[in-house]
Chains A and B, each alone.
Chain A
Amino acid sequence: QKEVEQNSGPLSVPEGAIASLNCTYSDRGSQSFFWYRQYSGKSPELIMSIYSNGDKEDGRFTAQLNKASQYVSLLIRDSQPSDSATYLCAVRTGGGNKLTFGTGTQLKVEL
């Protein structure tokens, strides 16, 4: 079982719709969770971090964390073509340094 799992996609949504990206992780000791966006040929950029169970909203983005289910998700409201990218879920365990990344979900927002 991979430590951090994401559906590779592509996930296609129409412009203006809500895109829902999901991530599961295997280590129950995981404490910190991050979503990064990576455009083709570019490096990842941080979108959001979340540490506590529940929802965290930032503009059009909402991160949701459920530690009991070992599940973290990212919702993108009012999806735009510029949101088309690969979204990486990353998890940090306990006091460790490293982030463990999922393989990413490719999102395509269609006109």
Chain B
Amino acid sequence: GAVVSQHPSWVICKSGTSVKIECRSLDFQATTMFWYRQFPKQSLMLMATSNEGSKATYEQGVEKDKFLINHASLTLSTLTVTSAHPEDSSFYICSARDRTSATDTQYFGPGTRLTVL
């Protein structure tokens, strides 16, 4: 149980284009999902908390107009990187909180590696 999927697993795009990443909880409902970014050899950085049916909560320094988050259902959250630039190249990882489990735990998706040319 507690499987989280992400799509795509990797994407290469041209500078200035937008990229959408999907995060799905496959066997549980997630009222809360999280989006992280990780640069090589660095720790996870929380970008935003995605709440089903309401606006996302962004961490300080993360541009909400550049990183659009939509959590339209209890099993799906999307992150759209708008007008991507090379400095946005990173490993984007989502996680979903399973409140129904005995451990109330966050489970991570496999990540999406974004390369902006």
Once A98-B49, A101-B44 are accepted as A-B contacts, the answer to whether A49 and B103 lie under 8 Å apart by CB is: yes
| Cα-based distance from A32 to B102 in the complex (angstroms) | 12
A42 on the interface (CB 8 Å rule)? yes
A17 on the interface (CB 8 Å rule)? no
| Cα-based distance from A67 to B40 in the complex (angstroms) | 33
Binary interface encoding of chain B residues 59-100 relative to chain A, with 1 for a CB under 8 A from any of its CBs, else 0: 000000000000000000000000000000001010001000
| Cα-based distance from A38 to B91 in the complex (angstroms) | 13
Q: Are B111 and A42 in contact (CB under 8 A)?
A: yes
Once A97-B32, A97-B49, A97-B97 are accepted as A-B contacts, the answer to whether A43 and B43 lie under 8 Å apart by CB is: no
A44 on the interface (CB 8 Å rule)? yes
Q: Are A99 and B106 in contact (CB under 8 A)?
A: yes
Q: Which of B20-50 contact A (CB under 8 A)?
A: 32, 34, 43-44, 46, 49
| Cα-based distance from A36 to B93 in the complex (angstroms) | 14
Chain B residues with Cβ below 8 Å from A36 are 108
| Cα-based distance from A104 to B46 in the complex (angstroms) | 15
Residue of B nearest to A86 (CB): B43
Chain B residues with Cβ below 8 Å from A99 are 34, 106
| Cα-based distance from A90 to B43 in the complex (angstroms) | 12
Given contacts A36-B108, A44-B108, A97-B97, 17 further A-B contacts (CB under 8 A): A32-B104, A41-B91, A42-B111, A43-B108, A44-B44, A44-B93, A45-B108, A46-B106, A46-B108, A88-B44, A90-B106, A97-B34, A97-B49, A98-B46, A99-B106, A101-B43, A103-B43
Q: Which residues of B contact A (CB under 8 A)?
A: 32, 34, 43-44, 46, 49, 91, 93, 97, 103-111
* Interchain residue pairs with CB less than 8 A apart (5): A43-B108, A44-B93, A49-B103, A88-B43, A98-B34
